[in-house]
Structure 1
Amino acid sequence: MISSITYENSLDFAQKMDALDSLKQFRNYFHIPLIHNQEAIYLCGNSLGLQPKAARNTIEQEMLHWQTLAVEGHFLGKQPWLTYHKQFRPLLSNLTGALPHEVVAMNNLTTNLHLMMISFYQPTSDRYLIIMEAGAFPSDQYAVESQVRFHGFDPSDAIIEIKPREGEHILHTEDIVQAIINPENKPALVLFGGVNYYTGQVFDMQAISKAAHEAGAYVGFDLAHAIGNVSLHLHDWGTDFAVWCSYKYLNSSPGGISGAFVHERHASNPDLPRLAGWWGYDEATRFQMKKGFIPQHGADGWQLANAPILLMAVHRASLDIFQEAGLENLRQKSILLTGYLEFLIQNDPILNQTLHIITPSNSKERGCQLSMLAAINGKQIFDKITDAGVIGDWREPNVIRLSPVPLYNSFEDIYRCGETLSRCVREVNII
């Protein structure tokens, strides 16, 4: 894949770029939805990734194991269910920049966030603040509010939200760091999204981790919009924990299995509180059914219950694709695709006037997503492009989000999206 290019607003240019794309074959690994009997231009992988064609076979394989082995499937078969989760360690460690024992596939995102906060939010009378970004995804807001109340504190007092500067949409790293290290704050926990779902901004997770530890706080990230999208180095950053879902860029089915990271320095800390379950118990003695919880080493020790094998089978189908493609290769293509969409919008006078991109222009500060603030008739524009075959998503009050995903989107997709946007804006606004 070419690392940089001079863009052109033409179908010929887009098709030439696709011809040069070393990752173009991966589009054929996915089912593309249809609108009006034509393949849609699917730019909504930030909300739900497409179905890998291999997913049906991986599920069918486990259905066959269930059919032929029943309970013995926990111990027999190609991939026994008892240890099924272990196959994800090297795959997830590559995507998160972690050691294999620092990651685990389990539960759903908000459940994992609550489990991590039980361990890493331990407020005291003089250190109880949580610092997070304003406008975090609502589920994170609700989880944090409930944890704060659980410990007997008032969310309006205990939660500090870092907001953009007046008239801006994104956060400055120096503002985040300053709020964290401010001696008047004394946070117990710093919790940020890796990528803000609304603006698409990638936060400087290394700087945030460093500042949190300097301030004497734990630090965690919600990577729902980051994993499979941007480069992560959780172990080297010293991040205490992270959680994520798998149904966005990881293409692992609606409500699919999620995951968690716990830094190895916490792997065997007996003083770290946690909510325990049978599947997190020491595997070597689990079936002795004894009282007294003995956790497994590493992130596995935060598991609660048996792995949902059918969900994990889909997860495996998708992660195998990432392993074949390589995240860094995908990231290079992502930068080019997203840059092309930005170019088409900014170089169309009507689009540039109607749709204001609020995602950072620096490619290091964004992933696949571009969020566009509509100056007028935003919902009508969105509905019209959807009917015309461009699937993105709408966020109140007036933002259209489009996400060129490098696994299955092409440069021709982006060119035709630009054409459609331009035509629909003109038709809606009667220009």
Structure 2
Amino acid sequence: MTSTVESAGESPAAVPRFPMTRAAGCPFDPPPTAVAQQKQAPLTRVRLWDDSTPWLVTRYAEQRALLADPRVSADINRPGYPLQVALPPGGGSASFVLMDDPEHARLRRMVTAPFAIKRVAALRPAIQGIVDELIDDMLAGPKPVDLVEAFALPVPSLVICELLGVPYADHDFFQDNSKIVIKRDAGPEQRMGAQRALLGYLDDLMGRKLADPADDLLSGLAERVRSGEMTRNEAAQMGVLLLIAGHETTANMIALGTLALLEHPAQLELLRDSDDPKLVASAVEELLRYLNIVHNGRRRVALEDIEIAGERVRAGEGLIIANDIGNRDPDAFPDPDRLDIERDARHHVAFGFGVHQCLGQPLARLELQVVYSTLYRRIPALRLAGDIERVPFKHDGNVYGVYELPVTW
């Protein structure tokens, strides 16, 4: 069932388009139209590319409630799901994050152990070594330097390659195709071509792991294929998801977080001059809350009628959980538009909530803690090489960040 504005008593002309545009000169803040929607009501209507009008969930409490509600589905193939782009013939991706339980839980369990907090914590020395080596290379090279290319992208790419068992020598291939997959305005054929290329690449790797297993996550999946717990295609699909999510999101947080701190020098000084790991961890949570690089919302569809915040969401109506404005909800975070690394922001929804919350969040947190505690201490004079107005932001991506970040010192 397609969501309609008639059921909410609104005229089609009054319904704003989604995704929305950020204000010029305010690259860290949610779009003004989204903020206005939040002030208007916890649930409002928006219009998508296909003229469907799902609910936009604007406030923190309602977002957490719906993300944890078993009457809400993440299945991209259900009628009424608020699609970001048209699905290819035959349906959408087989990624487990776009499935419901019990299938979602069955597949998620296959990769839970490597992302457990204690297992991830053991990676700290290796991640610290990667960060230090890349900083050494920057300090030894010419200035200015693009922090994205020289540091922000290589850090998580090297980490996820080591964890998965993917050759880092292939990073140009998977980074280029990943960018196409998450680019909002990529054409359907271009996006499908990139997805097929990545799936073929991971399927080939899976074949190699089946023949010659090693001590890595893909080899662990290969063992589950061999035992009949999952199919080879499911394993390859999972590999694609983990490879893309494992480097794109963290890379954008490293670069965008650095830019935000450079634009808030008092906060940067506080972080740079502290040797308190609790403050570093607090800074990571606050930057995740403040920036919210997943800026197109989490998409869901109601399985049953749901009464919430004085509205009735009917079965088959789409929901967009706008985490960027949820994390700027003044009822959840006082003075939400202020960056304050001493704030307790651990209850943010940057990683989602409920059974579908981000599997890799312990790894992302650790990588960001190592980066934010090391980069500015080792390069204390780090600064933008030019004006922020010239920094190219990813307004056209499903993951928000910057394409380049020229810095010097």
TM tier relative to shorter chain: under 0.3
Of structures 1 and 2, the larger Rg is shown by 1
- TM-score normalised by the chain length of structure 1: 0.26
Q: TM-score, normalised by structure 2?
A: 0.27
User: Which has a greater percent of strand?
Assistant: 1
